[in-house]
C-alpha cells in the first residue's frame, strides 16, 4: 500500500499503555491497524491504572511511564480503572494534568449501519472539552464532618487555550459554527469567565459563526435536534457529560474516540471505560480505540494514512458483514479480533455512501507564558468570608459572630448556609447544616483591609468558642466586586 511515510523514515516513538479490563484487546486492535497503514511507529509499552494502584502508587502512574511519555510525547492509551469513593486520584486525570493536555477533542459522527433513533440525521460534530481545570482540579475538603466542599477552578489562561483550540478545530475541518456551552447564568465568575473569553476571541475568526448557549439548553437541543451543532466548546465537567450524551446519539461509547491535546504532549484514547466484566472475552467493539488511532495519525501529520484507516472503518460499517454485539446483538455478531481483521482486509477501500470531510492541519494555539496574564489597574480587599463550623441555630450564631466582630475593622453583613442567607433572620424556613459562611465587610470602605485586621477578627471568633476552617478575601478589581452574593443577600 502506498503511504506518505517512507519505510526509510525514522520510526516515531509512541508510548503504548494497554490499560485495564478490555483495554489490552482494543489497544491491540488499534496498534495492528496503525501498523498496517505503513507509518513507522516505535511502540514503548508502559503501564498505569489498576495494576499500579495495587502496588501502592497512589497516583496510578509509575515514574517509568512518566519518563516514557516525557520522551515520546505521544501516547495511545487504553481505558484505566478509577477508584470510586476513596483517596487515590484517577490515573486518567493524573496523566492529563501532569502533561497539561488541556484540550479534549471528541468527534461524534453518524456511522453507516449502526441503528440509533437518529440514523439518517447526519450527525457530525465535535465536543472540545477543557481538560485540566474546573471541578477536576480535584481540590476537595471535608469542611465539617458532614459538609464537603469542592473548589471549581477556572482560569482566563485555560479559557483562552480551549476557546482558541475549538476555533482552530473548526477552521481545520472547514466547520462554520462554534457553540460555547456554559452555566454562566448561575456561576457568573467561573462559567462566566469562559463565556466572556469566548466572546472576546470569536471576532478573530470572522469566517466562523460563534454562539453562546446555556449548557442545559445545549443538552436539550442535542437530544431534540443534534444536527444543528458542529463544534461545542465547554468546561471540563460539562464536557464530560455532553460528550457522553453525544456519543449515545450515534450508537454509544464504543464508537467514541478522543484526543487529549497539549502544547507538548498528546494522549489518544477511547472515551469508554475498562468494562472489566467483558475482559478477555473477545466481544468488545474496538471502533472507539481504532478511531483514536486515526486521530493520532492525523496529529503526527500522516493524513493520507489516517484517511485510509478511517475509510476502511467506514467501508466495513457500510458493508455490514461484520458487526460487534453492541450494535448487532448476540445473533450474527463477531468478536473484537474478527472485526479488526475485517477492517484490516478493507484497507485501501473507500466507502460509497458516507461523505468524507476535508481536513487541514490543526494549528495549536499559542498563548502567553506570563503567569499573571490578567492585571487590574486597581485592587482592594473590602471584606472577608469566614467559614465557621457550629451546631447553633442562625439567631444564636449571629449574636456570637456579631460579638466577635465588635472592636474590629469588620462588621457582619450576613451569614449564609448552603448559599442562602439565614442571618439576619428573613422569616423564611431554610434547613441548615453545621457549615456557615459569615460575610464581613470593612467598616471603612476607603481603607484596604490588611492581614493584621483579619487576624484580630479570627481571634475574636475563637474567643466566642467558634471553630473556623476557611477564609476567603473579598476583593474588588478596578472598582468592581469580585465575589457573588448569597441567595437573599442585598
Angle of helix 303-319 versus helix 336-345 axis, rounded to 10: 120
- pLDDT score of 94: 87
> Which residues, 6+ apart, have CB-to-CB distance to 394 below 8 Å?
415, 417, 422, 423, 425, 432, 436
- pLDDT score of 1: 35
Catalytic residue among 216, 281, 361, 478: 216
Please say if 195 is a catalytic residue.
Answer: no
Find out whether 291 and 263 touch, Cβ atoms under 8 Å: no
Report the phi/psi class of residue 282: left, alpha or beta, with left for phi > 0 and alpha for psi in -120 to 50.
left
Find out whether 130 and 102 touch, Cβ atoms under 8 Å: yes
CA distances from 167 to 234, 263, 403 (A): 12, 16, 55
- pLDDT score of 3: 41
Q: What is the pTM of this model?
A: 0.93
Domains for the chain: give ranges and CATH numbers: 11-102+263-304+319-357 (3.40.718.10), 379-481 (3.30.70.1570)
- pLDDT score of 165: 98
**Cis amide linkage into residue 182, ω under 30° from 0:** no
Look at residues 309, 318, 324 and name the one whose alpha carbon lies nearest to residue 22: 324
Please say if 240 is a catalytic residue.
Answer: yes
Please say if 136 is a catalytic residue.
Answer: yes
Report the phi/psi class of residue 186: left, alpha or beta, with left for phi > 0 and alpha for psi in -120 to 50.
alpha
Please say if 102 is a catalytic residue.
Answer: no
Reading the chain (490 residues) residue by residue, the pLDDT tens digits are 334 454 457 999 999 999 999 999 999 999 999 999 999 999 999 999 988 988 888 889 999 999 999 999 999 999 998 766 544 678 888 898 899 999 999 999 999 999 999 999 999 999 999 999 999 888 999 999 999 999 999 999 999 999 999 999 999 999 999 999 999 999 999 999 999 999 999 999 999 999 999 999 999 999 999 999 999 999 999 999 999 999 999 999 999 999 999 999 999 999 999 999 999 999 999 999 999 999 999 999 999 999 999 999 999 999 989 899 888 877 668 999 999 999 999 999 999 998 878 888 899 998 778 888 899 999 999 999 999 999 999 999 999 999 999 999 999 999 999 999 999 988 888 899 999 999 999 998 877 788 999 999 999 999 999 999 999 999 999 999 999 999 999 8
Distance between CA 430 and CA 447 in Å, rounded?
Answer: 35
Distance between CA 472 and CA 385 in Å, rounded?
Answer: 5
Distance between CA 453 and CA 410 in Å, rounded?
Answer: 8
DSSP letter for each residue of 22-78: THHHHHHHHHHHHHHTT--EEEEE---SHHHHTTT-TTS--HHHHHHHHHH-EEEE-
Find out whether 343 and 312 touch, Cβ atoms under 8 Å: yes
Catalytic residue among 28, 240, 307, 326: 240
> Which residues, 6+ apart, have CB-to-CB distance to 227 below 8 Å?
121, 122, 123, 124
Distance between CA 3 and CA 373 in Å, rounded?
Answer: 44
Cα atoms in the 13 Å half-sphere on the side-chain side of 53: 17
Catalytic residue among 136, 195, 326, 400: 136
Residues forming a β-bridge with 387: 437, 470
Secondary structure element (H or E) that encloses residue 399, with its range: helix 394-405
Helix (H, G, I), strand (E, B) or coil at 404: helix
CA distances from 273 to 81, 180, 252, 259, 336 (A): 7, 27, 12, 15, 16
Catalytic residue among 77, 97, 183, 195: 183
CA angle at 81 for the pair 80 and 86, rounded to the nearest 5°? 135
Amino acid at each position: 500500500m502506498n503511504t506518505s511515510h517512507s519505510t526509510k523514515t525514522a520510526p516515531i516513538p509512541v508510548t503504548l499503555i494497554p490499560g485495564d479490563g478490555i483495554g489490552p484487546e482494543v489497544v491491540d486492535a488499534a496498534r495492528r491497524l496503525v501498523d498496517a497503514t505503513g507509518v513507522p511507529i516505535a511502540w514503548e509499552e508502559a503501564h498505569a491504572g489498576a495494576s499500579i494502584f495495587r502496588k501502592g502508587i497512589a497516583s496510578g502512574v509509575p515514574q517509568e511511564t512518566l519518563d516514557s511519555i516525557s520522551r515520546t510525547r505521544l501516547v495511545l492509551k487504553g481505558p484505566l480503572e478509577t477508584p470510586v469513593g476513596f483517596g487515590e486520584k484517577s490515573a486518567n486525570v493524573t496523566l492529563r494534568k501532569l502533561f497539561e493536555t488541556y484540550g479534549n477533542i471528541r468527534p461524534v459522527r453518524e456511522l453507516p449501519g449502526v441503528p440509533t433513533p437518529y440514523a439518517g440525521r447526519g450527525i457530525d460534530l465535535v465536543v472540545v472539552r477543557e481538560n485540566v481545570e474546573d471541578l477536576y482540579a480535584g481540590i476537595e475538603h471535608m469542611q465539617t464532618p458532614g459538609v464537603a466542599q469542592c473548589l471549581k477552578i477556572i482560569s482566563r489562561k485555560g479559557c483562552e487555550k480551549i476557546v482558541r483550540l475549538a476555533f482552530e478545530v473548526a477552521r481545520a475541518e472547514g466547520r462554520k459554527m462554534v457553540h460555547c456551552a456554559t452555566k454562566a447564568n448561575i456561576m457568573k465568575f467561573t462559567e462566566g469567565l469562559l463565556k466572556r473569553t469566548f466572546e472576546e476571541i470569536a471576532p478573530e475568526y470572522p469566517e466562523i459563526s460563534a454562539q453562546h448557549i446555556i449548557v442545559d439548553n445545549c443538552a436539550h437541543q442535542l437530544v431534540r435536534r443534534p444536527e444543528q451543532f458542529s463544534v461545542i466548546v465547554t468546561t471540563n465537567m460539562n464536557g464530560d457529560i455532553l460528550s457522553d450524551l453525544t456519543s449515545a446519539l450515534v450508537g454509544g461509547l464504543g464508537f467514541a474516540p478522543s484526543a487529549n491535546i497539549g502544547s507538548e504532549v498528546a494522549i489518544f484514547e477511547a472515551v469508554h471505560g475498562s468494562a472489566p466484566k467483558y475482559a478477555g472475552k473477545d466481544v468488545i467493539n474496538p471502533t472507539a480505540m481504532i478511531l483514536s488511532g486515526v486521530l493520532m495519525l492525523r496529529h503526527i501529520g500522516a493524513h493520507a494514512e489516517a484517511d485510509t484507516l478511517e475509510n476502511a472503518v467506514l467501508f466495513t460499517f457500510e458493508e455490514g458483514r461484520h458487526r460487534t454485539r453492541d450494535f448487532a446483538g448476540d445473533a450474527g455478531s463477531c468478536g473484537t479480533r474478527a472485526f479488526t481483521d475485517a477492517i484490516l482486509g478493507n484497507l485501501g477501500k473507500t466507502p460509497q455512501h458516507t461523505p468524507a470531510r476535508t481536513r487541514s492541519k490543526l494549528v495549536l494555539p499559542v498563548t502567553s507564558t506570563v503567569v499573571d496574564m490578567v492585571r487590574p489597574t486597581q485592587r482592594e480587599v473590602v471584606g472577608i468570608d469566614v467559614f465557621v463550623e457550629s451546631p447553633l441555630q442562625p439567631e444564636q450564631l449571629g449574636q456570637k459572630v456579631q460579638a466577635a466582630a465588635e472592636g474590629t475593622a469588620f462588621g457582619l453583613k450576613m451569614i449564609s448556609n448552603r448559599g442562602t442567607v439565614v442571618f439576619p433572620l428573613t422569616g423564611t424556613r431554610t434547613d441548615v447544616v453545621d457549615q456557615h459562611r459569615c460575610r464581613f465587610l470593612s467598616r471603612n470602605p476607603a481603607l484596604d483591609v490588611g492581614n493584621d485586621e483579619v487576624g484580630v477578627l479570627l481571634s475574636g471568633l475563637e474567643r466566642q468558642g467558634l471553630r473556623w476552617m476557611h477564609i476567603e478575601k473579598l476583593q474588588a478589581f478596578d472598582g468592581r466586586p469580585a465575589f457573588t452574593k448569597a441567595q437573599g443577600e442585598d
